Structure 1
Amino acid sequence: MKKTIIAAGLVSLLSSTAMAENVGVSMALFDDNFLTVLRNGIQDLADGMDNVDVQIEDAQNDVAKQLDQINNFVASGVDAIIVNPVDTSATEAMTQAATSAGVPLVFVNRQPINVDMLPDNQAFVASNEVDSGTLETIEVCDLLKAAGKDEANIYVMMGELSNQAAVQRTADIHDVMAAGKCAVTLNIIDEQTANWSRDEAQDLMTNWLSTGEAFDAVISNNDEMAIGAIQAMKAGGIDMDVVIVAGIDATQDALQAMQAGDLDVTVFQNAAAQGSGALDAALKLARGEDVERKVYVPFELVTPDNIGDYMSQN
């Protein structure tokens, strides 16, 4: 009888040891180049680990849908949750839902409000947006100066206004100007949102071109909008050699645009590293290990001079 009990106990121990850790992942949107790379970073790390399962769902840019996904993850008993927020102003409700259930939560890429006041079992994994727009803008300034400009007119394309990254990247442009870090004097003709979208950016740029206003550069909060602007300019007969276009993310499409001579500046945001870093943090929190409240993956400036270093990154 004792042998039977011991054997049964050993089987039970082995079973519990081999039990999979389950992590629920709610992505703001599947139909986004950058977020696809991030999502693949989560999945690839999970695929390479024993007994780690991830359930990745598409919130389809719907805040209510995302909150439902989080509540469903909690109800299903996941060990941790990763969220790429649709709307960063709605993250407090997500924090509360996870906290009430005692489930660790990791926000990835998009900074939640009150990030410095997250509970001990929650974290934020991303890149520091103060660096993104700053690197982008200073490089645009240097290129304009190298082109013989002392003063330049620019357009600014913003991401979703509810998104912290868009707010910060736009603020970075103004901060560079205000701090005297720009090699030329920048005059912003207009700045409007194109909601991170290539199509919306193309429409916005077309509208700007219709005014006939002379401009020297377009600074975009992301690559998708920069590409949309490029498409509109090329359709409008603009010589891409005489205008500077900058984006952020260093997506494959952006790097191809740079190789073609259309995109002048981008900033590499390591989406795959953010994804794998988010899963690593979620698993550590689920196991009761310490994790920094903010885990940053550095931004890196990408230009035609060093593009070869990034062609295989995404």
Structure 2
Amino acid sequence: MKKTLIAAGVTALMSTTAMAENIGVSMALFDDNFLTVLRNGMIEMADGMEGVDLQVEDAQNDVAKQLDQVNNFIASGVDAIIVNPVDTSATQALTDAAASAGVPLVFVNRQPINVDTLPDNQAFVASNEVDSGTLETIEVCRLFAEAGKTEASVYVMMGELSNQAAVQRTADIHDVIAAGKCAVTLNILDEQTANWSRDQAQTLMTNWLSTGAEFDGVIANNDEMAIGAIQALKAAGVSMDDVVVAGIDATQDALLAMAAGDLDATVFQDAAGQGAGSLDAALKLARGESVDQKVYIPFQLVTPANIGDYTSKN
């Protein structure tokens, strides 16, 4: 299975148009900042292409609902399907449904559990999660070392445990430590899921603060949880100068938090680029064209030093 690394911008992929091509899109959840940008990336690309129609539906984080949507797309005769999986461990049923009907399928952003056995007319478009948590953790370690620390303790906030991204980003943290890539001795006090949620992260951080344990930072699997942690820390009177907080996605809210001096690091994941890239792959598969089955759009570290390069993105 081939792997292709493409630039964050995918405008070069958008030059072709099609006649009366209908693409069904099932998003895991509409009410998510990052996924909204991803969805809009598809819509904006389709709006600029004559004869391409998108039918975009919200699975509302319901695995059964998402499978029903895919089956309904197939029954309605769409030319291809794009799925942002609710549960990455439950994607085989989606693959089987599309494959049985001969309808091309593209998974986007969240890596399906069966990614290495996808049929020829299916693909996966995302960013390589091995890079995301690695970039984040190494930067956190660098900041601790820069502050003169030789040892630091952190809390880890995980995303939904049914999502491959949460599992991999958490594993990245442990891998950086195990491989000796951290500039300080990094200790993990606790790691728990806050399900990608700002509100849940705020509650979790409040609970950790109530233990009275000394800590130096928070490493979150995404920006929403990092922001929730920041809200709890500030509510408790903790100075943001005394802790390091990092996330992933470089959402606009995260960049605002960074500009305010609250968020120390994030990792840009090109949501719009993934959305447009998935539509490009779906259209090519619908036309019988060759598509690499893994298309990776690079992650990029964002810090206060280069934040200006990302304020117009996502």
1:19 Cα shift?
Answer: 4.2
Letter in 1 for 2:124: F
Kindly provide the CA deviation profile for residues 137-195 of structure 1, in whole angstroms up to 9, marking residues without a partner as x. Answer: 00000000000110001000000001000000000000000000000001100000000
Give, in angstroms, the shift of residue 116 of structure 1: 1.2
In structure 2, the partner of 1:217 is: 217
- Counterpart for residue 313 of structure 2: 313
Q: 5+ residue gaps in structure 2? A: 1-16
The 5 A counterparts of 1:260-279 are 260-279=260-279
Aligned to 1:120: 120
The runs of 5 or more residues in structure 1 that have no matched partner are 1-16
The yes-or-no answer on 1:36 pairing with 2:36 is yes
Offset at residue 57 of structure 1 (A) = 0.3
Between structures 1 and 2, the one with greater helix share: 1
Q: Secondary structure of 2:91's partner?
A: helix
Q: Structure 1's 117 and 58: CA in aligned 2 closer, same or farther, altered over 3 A?
A: same
- Listed as ranges, the matches of 1:65-214 within 5 Å are 65-214=65-214
Return the TM-score normalized by structure 1: 0.94
1:90 Cα offset (Å)? 0.7
For residues 268-290 of structure 1, the C-alpha deviation after alignment (integer angstroms, 9 at most, x for no partner) is 00000000000000000000000
SS of equivalent to 1:189: strand
Take 1:195 and 1:141, find their aligned partners in 2: how far apart are those partners? 24
Give the SS at the match of 2:201.
helix
**Structure 1 residue 259, shift from structure 2 partner:** 0.2
Query: Given residue 307 of structure 1, which amino acid in structure 2 is its aligned partner?
Result: I
Look up the match of 1:13.
none
Matched residue type, 1:117:
T
Q: Is the 8 A contact 2:104 2:122 kept in 1?
A: yes
Question: 4+ runs of 1 displaced by more than 6 Å?
Answer: none
SS at match of 1:188: strand
The equivalent residue for 1:21 is 21
The one-letter code matched in structure 2 to 1:62 is: D
Q: How many residue pairs were aligned? A: 298
**Aligned CA-pair RMSD:** 0.9
How far did residue 114 of structure 1 move? 2.1
**Paired amino acid for 2:119:** P
SS in 2 for 1:196: coil
Check 1:280–1:18 CA distance in 2 against 1; reply closer, same or farther (3 A cut). Answer: closer
| Same amino acid, percent of matched pairs | 83
Matching residue's letter, 1:107: F
The structure number with the bigger radius of gyration is 1
For the residues of structure 2 that align with 1:296 and 1:303, how far apart are their CA atoms? 22
Contact 2:18 2:49 in 1 (8 A): no
1:264–1:18: structure 2 CA closer, same or farther, 3 Å change rule? closer
Residue 243 of structure 1 aligns to which amino acid in structure 2?
A: V
User: 2:193 & 2:26 partners in 1: Cα distance?
Assistant: 25
Compare relative contact order (CA 8 Å, sep 6+) and give the higher one, 1 or 2: 2
Q: Which amino acid aligns with 1:283?
A: L
Instruction: Map residues 240-279 of structure 1 onto 2, 5 A cutoff.
Output: 240-279=240-279
CA distance in 2, matches of 1:129, 1:68: 28
Check the 8 A contact 2:19/2:50 in 1, yes or no: no
SS in 2 for 1:154: strand
TM-score, structure 2 length as denominator?
0.94
